[in-house]
Amino acid sequence: MNNSIVNQLFKCMTGFAVSIAVVSCGHSDTKEPVSDNVMKDSTAVKSGDSAVFYNFPSALQITSLFKKSGLTYVDGITNPQKDPTKYTSIFSKSLNLGIYAADLAYCVLNKQNQESLNYMKVSTDLASSLGMSSILESGNFGKRFELNIDNEDTLRNIISELQMEADTYLHDNDQQFISTIGFCGAWTEVMYIGTKVFEQSKGRELNDKISEQMVLLSRIIAVLRSEQKKDPAIAELLKEMNGLLDVYNGFDSVKRSKAENKEEELNLTVGLSEQEFAALVKKLADVHQSLLK
């Protein structure tokens, strides 16, 4: 990403964007400023016609956070790779590009080399179908990924670079609604994977990190709402996301935490009860299934 675009994104960010990046990409007890590395791995999306960019963490960042909290590899929980030509609309391409990006991150961080190659292939094919062939060819991402398949650090850098280039392309072509749809798909997939792993491990730390990431949902909804006019299919996606948020906001633990921390809602960490977390897992599974239709 060239320096002028990076500077523009920094200037346009609100305090909300900064706090989201810190809370979601680092440890919750660390209040460090947003760094170039955070910018490199983040997805910046514009809210409607306003000149404000929301800096969402990437699928790689959230998956890394979950990995540090006990996210292990469970075979069969990622989305099966389909022929990219099956996705015919911009909406379905964008949504599934996000979903596959999350699956790619999960496989890379768990050293699943063949699956990583498979998800990289379907992801780049979808990106190409969305008009990004030029950046894929100039960056030679597919070949570099294959050549470095045994080097996790290099793979992470390649994924981050690819996202950076994709975000720049979409920004320059006034297509940031694609980033919004894609991030919604990626976030849902990462959360779904996290809950499926938790069902087997029952790790409390992973439970807490999944709950912590729910703070992003209202911001995702806000950006989706502002982009509704760009694609009619966003309305149905909004319905699913709002339904998930309603379930979460209905939990007694959430109501109590919000009442006690009105000034710190963005940094809110809610300790869900076992019953509440089970209800969240069920609703996330329902939403996840609806996105795969």
Q: In this predicted model, what pLDDT tens digit does every residue of 33-70 receive, in sequence order?
A: 233 333 345 555 554 544 344 567 889 999 999 999 88
DSSP 46: E
Q: Are 92 and 111 in contact (CB under 8 A)?
A: no
Cα angle vertex 141, ends 2, 91, to 5°?
80
Which amino acid is residue 19, in one-letter code?
A: S
Backbone angles phi, psi at 57, to 5 degrees: -65, 150
In this structure, is the dihedral angle defined by the CA atoms of residues 82, 84, 87 and 92, taken in order, positive or negative? positive
The range of the structural domain enclosing residue 261 comes to 3-291
Assign 28 a pLDDT band (cuts: 50, 70, 90).
very low
pLDDT at 3: 39
Assign 268 a pLDDT band (cuts: 50, 70, 90).
low
Number of independent structural domains in the chain: 1
Tokens, residue 225: 């709402």
Q: In this predicted model, what pLDDT tens digit does every residue of 152-210 receive, in sequence order?
A: 999 999 999 999 999 899 989 999 999 999 999 999 999 999 999 988 877 778 888 88
Average pLDDT score, the chain: 81
Of the two residues 277 and 39, the one the predictor is more confident about is 277
